[in-house]
Structure 1
Amino acid sequence: MSSSEENVRLAAGDVELTISPRNGCRIESLIVGGAELLRQGPRYGCFPMVPWCGRVENGMFHDGAVTRQLPLNAPPHAIHGTVRDLPWRTARKESAGAVFTCELGDPWPYTGRVTQMAELTADSLTLTLCVEAYDESFPAQAGWHPWFARDLGGEDVRIDFSPAWQEERGENHLPTGRRIDPLPGPWDDCFGMPDGVSVALTWPGQLELTVASRAEWAVIYDEQREAVCVEPQSGPPNGLNTHPRLVTPIDPLEIATTWSWRRL
């Protein structure tokens, strides 16, 4: 299957998943037992964040002695990477699984490839991202930005998680570098979970969904009426500067998340 032109639909039991390769390999829809779990719209669903997550301060990061400038798509910062704005290629598709690839390049100043794999069962979805460097090593991050519907036609969703700390957020919306005790919401904040991300979303009387990952960081965003976001990622916002992870031609960056659900 060549192309970024067609949506890819996966199914398992009464679960249906739709991915749009041409719209940044975004999950457009996740329907469980007839209920749509994701906020609908071309900017929503769930998109991969690569090669950085969240904001990069003033769109600038340092690679050794070299300073790199990224487009300011959330002035005065750069936000959420580049691949959500690029068409992807469908490399493989089966009834309940698929693999997609995207080439890294301008405006990212390095070449490489990103692979996203989706594996669906009747009670879970596992997503995997792999970031590879072709010739030149570079700092990078990877993660996901899902927009879960705040309600499924009943009570609002409840969020439950137990982070080890919260990254203090400065007036510029970036972590200050200070770790503080977790504060009550609403949040647009990054939390540290050194034993791995685990966040439970409960729609009372309907569904419980757990977002899990071996990654140690998650951004929780619940300031909008329509949706809440639980974003597992390989480092904190502005991490290209504060928590860089070097991707080399022999050492790719890999991250996975599993969403598991049960009916209530």
Structure 2
Amino acid sequence: MSTDNPTQPAPQAAGVRLAAGAAEVTVQPDNGCRIGSLRVGGTELLRQGDHYGCFPMVPWCGRIEDGRFRNGGELHQMPVDAAPHAIHGTGRNLRWRTARSSATQAVFTYDLADPAAPWPYPGQVTQIVELAEDGGSLTLTMGVEATADSFPAQAGWHPWFRRNLGEGGEDAQLDFAPEWQEERGADHLPTGRRIMPKPGPWDDCFGMPRGVDVTLTWPGRLELRVASRAEWVVIYDEQEAAVCVEPQSGPPNGLNTVPCLVTPIDPLEISTTWSWRSLSPGTA
């Protein structure tokens, strides 16, 4: 679940550019390793700005209740940056290291023990950004590894897709078929009850146990599909400028309610693929 009041990210650098076919991607490792730009056929698909694009949510997704989580008998306090909760992890506020890059693929990492990241357990996060050779899809993969003690973690992505692509076109239309919606309490956290999906607008988490499968259609312009083997997706479409489709490894507050334990021999891995096709007449 989302907020438009994130903490201040690291200063933005020029970024790492990938290109294939009619697609161009720019990754900003110095600004939380977010996808700063995705252009298809010259059209920008992501909302622009230091806080937007598409950022990785790691080592948790959405809100943690009161910024606190337990690991066994240990209680940890994360910085409260969406009062009274902590939101969207620490990775989006850090400088990541570019491990390697080519024309269509780049690999980035950061240490969970980075002094700028108040996470109590050592480990490493890796993000792989890969543009298909034909320029028809983008695959994002993230891994969270423990190098000492085990700990609960989550990972996912928070893309800000432009609601309207301009040039007099229609707003994006959203299509998906979740099996349930997590009931949202007044504190913006899931109550633990699963309910039948309600009509939008949403700032809500949905269950898709067969895998995330959401389509955004800009009529007459472009169709974009967000797919992932992950079972959870948050949809945030309460802003006029953007629609967010957020595949993630667990629901908001999941460190407390559905913990996924990362161990030195069992990392957390998650992937999502965005694929697109033009709907413009005369365009392949």
TM-score, with normalisation over the residues of structure 1?
A: 0.98
Residue 188 of structure 2: aligned partner: 173
Of 138, 145, 149 in structure 2, the residue corresponding to residue 132 of structure 1 is: 145
**Aligned 8 A contact 1:6 1:21 in 2:** no
> Runs of 5+ in structure 2 lacking a partner?
1-11, 280-284
Residue 95 of structure 1: aligned partner: 103
Aligned identity (percent) is: 71
Q: Distance in 2 between matches of 1:6 and 1:206?
A: 29
Equivalent position SS for 1:84: helix
**Aligned 8 A contact 2:58 2:90 in 1:** yes
By how many angstroms is 1:11 displaced?
0.1
Residue 215 of structure 1: aligned partner: 230
Task: Using the TM superposition, name which of 99-108 and 165-174 deviates more.
Answer: 99-108
Q: Distance in 2 between matches of 1:102 and 1:194?
A: 30
Residue 28 of structure 1: aligned partner: 36
Residue 205 of structure 2: aligned partner: 190
- Count of aligned pairs between the two proteins: 261
By how many angstroms is 1:66 displaced?
1.1
Q: What is the CA deviation profile of residues 160-189 of structure 1, one whole-angstrom value per residue up to 9, with x for unaligned ones?
A: 000000000000000000000000000000
- Following TM superposition, the consecutive aligned residue runs of length 4 or more in structure 1 with deviations greater than 4 angstroms are none
Q: Distance in 2 between matches of 1:233 and 1:30?
A: 20
Equivalent position SS for 1:171: coil
Q: What is the CA deviation profile of residues 17-46 of structure 1, one whole-angstrom value per residue up to 9, with x for unaligned ones?
A: 000000000100000001100000000000
Q: Distance in 2 between matches of 1:92 and 1:117?
A: 10
Q: What is the CA deviation profile of residues 135-183 of structure 1, one whole-angstrom value per residue up to 9, with x for unaligned ones?
A: 1110000000000000111100000000000000000000000000000
Task: Return the letter of the residue paired with 2:125.
Answer: V
Residue 110 of structure 1: aligned partner: 121
**Aligned 8 A contact 2:13 2:31 in 1:** no
| Structure showing the higher strand proportion among its residues | 1
**Aligned 8 A contact 1:19 1:28 in 2:** yes
Of 41, 56, 59 in structure 1, the residue corresponding to residue 49 of structure 2 is: 41
Q: Distance in 1 between matches of 2:160 and 2:69?
A: 27
Q: Distance in 1 between matches of 2:243 and 2:174?
A: 9
Q: What is the CA deviation profile of residues 184-234 of structure 1, one whole-angstrom value per residue up to 9, with x for unaligned ones?
A: 000000000000000000000000000000000000000000000000000
Residue 11 of structure 1: aligned partner: 19
By how many angstroms is 1:53 displaced?
0.1
> Runs of 5+ in structure 1 lacking a partner?
none
Q: Distance in 1 between matches of 2:24 and 2:172?
A: 21
**Aligned 8 A contact 2:70 2:256 in 1:** yes
Q: Distance in 1 between matches of 2:32 and 2:230?
A: 22
Residue 256 of structure 2: aligned partner: 241
CA RMSD, 1 decimal:
0.9
TM-score, with normalisation over the residues of structure 2?
A: 0.91
